[in-house]
Amino acid sequence: MGMGSSHNETEIAIIGGGPGGYVAAIRAADLGRNVVLIEERDRLGGVCLIEGCIPSKALINVVDLAESARAARKMGLTFGEVSTNLDALRRWSDSVVDTLTKGVDGLLKRRGVEVVHGRARFVDNRTLAVEGAHPATLAFRNCIIATGSDINRLPAGQHLPLWSSAEALRIPEVPARLVVVGGGYIGLEMGLVYAGLGSQVTVVEFFPRLLPGADQDLVDVVVKSCERRFHRIMTESRVVDIQKGGGGYVVTVEYQGQKLTQECDQILVAVGRRPNTDKLGLEHTAIRPDRRGFIQVNPCGRTAEEHIFAIGDVTPGPMLAHKASHEGKVTAEVIAGHHATVAENPPIPAVVFTDPELAWTGLTERDAAEQGLTVDVARFPLLASGRARTMGRTDGLVKIIADPDSRRVLGVGMVGPHVSELIAEGTLAVQLGATVDDVMVTIHPHPTVSEAIMEAAEVAAGVPIHINPPRRPDGALRVRAHVNPRNRQGGCEGCPLEHT
């Protein structure tokens, strides 16, 4: 029913048109459900598409091209001096975003999803009020909350025009001196973009190390690269004061027990995000977010109101677009009576688009230590990868975390070129309950970086080819016979396979 009238009804109301909400709308419509999607922005796609994942990767790709051009000299390929046209760069990024947002519009239109622009809040557990150019009331049978997250602000300098990632992605200028507050993935990705464009970048991180969610051995490789490109990295530090001055800002940082001041031209605040749940009218329902604002849900996405679901950044777990999209599909299918995609704690890959890229999925060593789990960890260095050598990119490794008894792959971590594309194989291995033997006997194409996953599995199985196997205390090589436990017994003499 159209939203032209003041009171309307729908089978499924979805609040938020980001990668969680619009995906849920498409899947629900394909399953024959009547859907109204409410989005407060003029465009669909959410933070990810408009001012996050997509524009940041457009800029990162440009900087990577420039770095590749410079690195090509040692391979015998010389270009003219690399220069940047900021207007053209902005147009390129905007064109990518525009094309994708229009694509989302088209997908929803073809599915018959009604899109309403305005801000939704709960009047009660069966009704939404939509505020905007055309105020309306919407009754629903089911609702999906997909309102995403917002940027955390810095207490110091709250009233100053500091950059968030949203402003930084618009490239208003390339500051000569940039201070990045926050050494998580957003801070490092954007810091490397601006370093690549010519800024002198200083990173200030509160915790003892950068990228605190990832395993140290993977982070170390990224940190070495960042140290070459950044002016300074200050860990265990915090910004305590920001004043206008010196043609830009004067920043006071508490670092190693002392207060240091530093002049800069701009400050990028990248200190995390918080869920958008505070102005939804949830007090008119049984849903009570926790102290950090997150809504608790079961594996089907149900909240304390069994007909109201929540997905993406408003729920606990990593704030990642692909998590939201997956959960959008799950909730749409559950509402439609299908439960095929519901799984408890599915592996969620995480990628940091630094140079080199860093990615992990499933259990990390850090997780295992915190949970008191005993695991086997096998590493394969890209120094031993033929393809990495041909690219001149041997700074990295692949590691597999496995259960010592069942030999199941519990987690995969990697750092190096193209690992954002390769981590899906690790996620598939964890999702399917594959063993290290399964990964090891899966033929990988040569020469590719993907072979490093197979090679890491061979290390885990105790039969590495391209690195030396471990030695016993007596100095002998420790290599064991390999039997794939999935093969059936029987067949020709001395052969474990059934065949004629």
Q: Is 134 one of the annotated active-site residues of the chain?
A: no
Longest distance between any two alpha carbons in the chain, whole Å:
84
Residue with tokens 């051995």: 217
Mention every residue, 6+ apart, whose C-beta is less than 8 A from residue 455: 380, 384, 385, 398, 464, 465, 466, 467
E-state strands within 318-408: 350-352, 357-362, 376-381, 397-402
Give the SS3 label for residue 285: coil
Structure letter (DSSP) for residue 337: T
Is 366 exposed, middle or buried, given 0-12, 13-18 or 19+ CB atoms closer than 10 A? middle
Backbone angles phi, psi at 171, to 5 degrees: 45, 60
54, two tokens = 């997509």
Q: Cα separations (Å) of 169 from 46, 107, 166?
A: 15, 26, 5
Judge whether 276 and 147 are in contact, CB under 8 Å: yes
* Element containing residue 70 per DSSP (H, E): helix 53-71
* Element containing residue 365 per DSSP (H, E): helix 365-371
Taking the CA atoms of residue 31, residue 316, residue 131 and residue 152 in that order, the dihedral angle to the nearest 10 degrees is: -140
**Catalytic residue chosen out of the listed positions 7, 134, 339, 446:** 446
Which of 163, 176, 146, 180 has its CA nearest to residue 13? 146
Give the SS3 label for residue 352: strand
Catalytic residues: 446
